[in-house]
Structure 1
Amino acid sequence: MFSLIQLESFVAVAEELHFGAAAARLNMTQPPLSRQIQLLERELGALLFERSSRKVELTAAGRTLLPSARRILDLCTKTELDVRRVSTGDAGSITIGYTAIAGQSGLPGILRLASSHLPGVSLVLREAVSTDQLDGLSRGSMDIGLLRPIVARPGVVSRPLMEDRLVAALPEGHDLATGKGVMLKELDGLPLMMYSTAEARYFHDLVMRLYDSAGAHPNITQFASQVPALLAFVAAGLGITLVPASAMAFSPPGVVFEELVGPAGLADLNHADLHIAWNESNTNPAVARLLDLILAGDAGG
């Protein structure tokens, strides 16, 4: 099999049509250059140049080889550059998981950040509930997750990305939709659209803690794993729910929101913060660069 140095020597001579000029272009002397051409001709079993004391010309075989030789050398150069870019985080791909609401709140800032600072990196986006994101981070099928802090997973670390809180979502025209806030106790017994324990344990447990803190009793009539589905129930007039305040900007028609009021200590309890998570064993340089940018606080704009 011929070598890259043989192809480089051939292309240089083919383009210069002069062994001395080709040798100078390759920063070598003429005898080693002639030797590389001879080795290539022997390997291919064909004469590539017609040589005389006055000129050098390509043979038919040489003319056939030249475009392919150029493509091979160009591909090698491109491959070398691509590998270097990936190794420094300038290229490659990042798979980002996100919840439905994070896709509207936290994700856009990260996409802008990546577009501005890592234009050569492609992003693969996957909407998933927090538990599924943790599974993906653990298995390595996801690089970064935008999720709610639920159970810990070995090797998966997270940091707060955005502060959030729960608010009451009510059907338009509901008696409690006064614009003055809702006491948690006032939700006692109302039909509650509730988070699934299997897929949205974080929000399920938070809602239960909030109800318990006020001595209120949830009357759960529907379950869903994602905020948009719960808001659809509310818009249909089937009951009320508690959702992150960040969801207010992306609500369907027919839903109004009220801040939760009391009891004492509610503000300390009512945290629904969005976290960014990743597997600490991830070796993707592009992931490391994007995380550095996000954790530096640049993703919020």
Structure 2
Amino acid sequence: MYSLDQLRGFVAVAEELHFGRAAARLNMTQPPLSRQIQKLEKSIGVQLFERDNRGVALTAAGSAFLTDAVKLLELAEAAPSLARRISQGSAGFVRIGFTAASTFGLLGALLNEISSALPDVDIDLREMVTKDQTAALINGEIDLGLARPPFDEDLFDSRLLYREPMMVAVPVGHRFTRLDRLVTVEDLHGEDLIMHSPTQARYFYDLVISLVSSHPTFVHTVSQILTMIFLVAAGRGIALVPQSSTALGIEGVEYIELGGFETDPVELHAIWRREARNPALHRVLDLISGAAD
């Protein structure tokens, strides 16, 4: 097997086409350099140079080998730096699970911040509901979740990313648009409500159920907020959605804030395994902490 010193010697001679100049470039004498080249040729089983009284020239095999030799040396020189950067968290990868609704208000800005501050950290995005995120964190399939509460605080550390109001999405011209005030829970009585799925959108389902003491008529049950708003635009009913949904800009829909809360009721958290050891993850968490502060 050949050594990196042999490769460096070969590249120097190939570029200089002169053993004396190549030896001087490598701060060595010519005889040991010649022995390095001979050992390299013996190791790989081909002649790399034509030697005669007029000088040195690469063989066809030598020309082909030169391209790969340069790449191997570049990789060998870059490897220690890459290992250090991965250890420090400035390079590597982070797998992020996210809910569909989190893309409306946070995900894009977060990815832009990571790309700007940590350009050598690759992000792998995986859309999944909160219960699937927690399972994926436990199984080591993702590093970070953008999820809704509740979650096991013994297993997961977390950071509140933001709170937002709950909005009532209604068709244009609905009576709620003429109230000139926030909608109350009592106003919802008698309305046809497009409802969140109790399995695929459990967080919002539980939140809405906790708000609506006397249930309106649930005319449709769907898992995606985008679908809900399209149904509202079609006049199929009204829906309770997070404020970030207003960024979707779907025509035929108006939004009025649902009042009656001491704090904005909709929460999104960053969650991760307490024993997580990925250095790049902790650099991303530092960014999140800075943004929160």
3-state DSSP class of the match of 1:198? coil
Over 3 Å counting, the alpha-carbon distance change for 1:62 and 1:96 in structure 2 is closer
Q: Within 5 A, what are the aligned runs for 1:224-243?
A: 224-243=222-241
Once residues 190 and 62 of structure 1 are traced to their aligned partners in structure 2, the CA distance between those partners, rounded to angstroms, is 80
Once residues 230 and 249 of structure 1 are traced to their aligned partners in structure 2, the CA distance between those partners, rounded to angstroms, is 14
Give, as a single letter, the amino acid of the residue that structure 1 aligns with 2:279: P
Do structure 1's residue 147 and structure 2's residue 151 form an aligned pair? no
TM-score with structure 2 length normalisation?
0.85
Over 3 Å counting, the alpha-carbon distance change for 1:55 and 1:90 in structure 2 is farther
- Which residue matches 1:110? 110
Asked if 2 retains the 8 angstrom alpha-carbon contact of 1:48 and 1:59, the reply is yes
Give, as a single letter, the amino acid of the residue that structure 1 aligns with 2:255: F
- Which residue matches 1:217? 215
- Which residue matches 1:57? 56
Do structure 1's residue 206 and structure 2's residue 207 form an aligned pair? yes
Deviations 1:110-163 (A, max 9, x none): 122022112233333333322222232222222322222233276332211112
Alpha-carbon deviation of 1:219? 2.7
Once residues 246 and 271 of structure 1 are traced to their aligned partners in structure 2, the CA distance between those partners, rounded to angstroms, is 13
Q: Which runs of 5+ in 1 are unaligned?
A: none
Identity %: 44
3-state DSSP class of the match of 1:177? helix
Do structure 1's residue 292 and structure 2's residue 293 form an aligned pair? no
- Which residue matches 2:197? 196
Q: How many equivalent residue pairs? A: 291
Alpha-carbon deviation of 1:62? 4.4
Give, as a single letter, the amino acid of the residue that structure 1 aligns with 2:241: V
Give, as a single letter, the amino acid of the residue that structure 1 aligns with 2:262: A
Over 3 Å counting, the alpha-carbon distance change for 1:193 and 1:73 in structure 2 is same
- Which residue matches 2:13? 13
- Aligned-residue Cα RMSD (Å) equals 2.8
Alpha-carbon deviation of 1:167? 2.0
Asked if 2 retains the 8 angstrom alpha-carbon contact of 1:113 and 1:298, the reply is no
Over 3 Å counting, the alpha-carbon distance change for 1:48 and 1:236 in structure 2 is closer
- Which residue matches 1:94? 94
Alpha-carbon deviation of 1:103? 0.7
Asked if 1 retains the 8 angstrom alpha-carbon contact of 2:165 and 2:258, the reply is no
TM-score with structure 1 length normalisation?
0.83
Alpha-carbon deviation of 1:55? 6.6
Once residues 14 and 89 of structure 1 are traced to their aligned partners in structure 2, the CA distance between those partners, rounded to angstroms, is 38
Once residues 139 and 253 of structure 2 are traced to their aligned partners in structure 1, the CA distance between those partners, rounded to angstroms, is 38
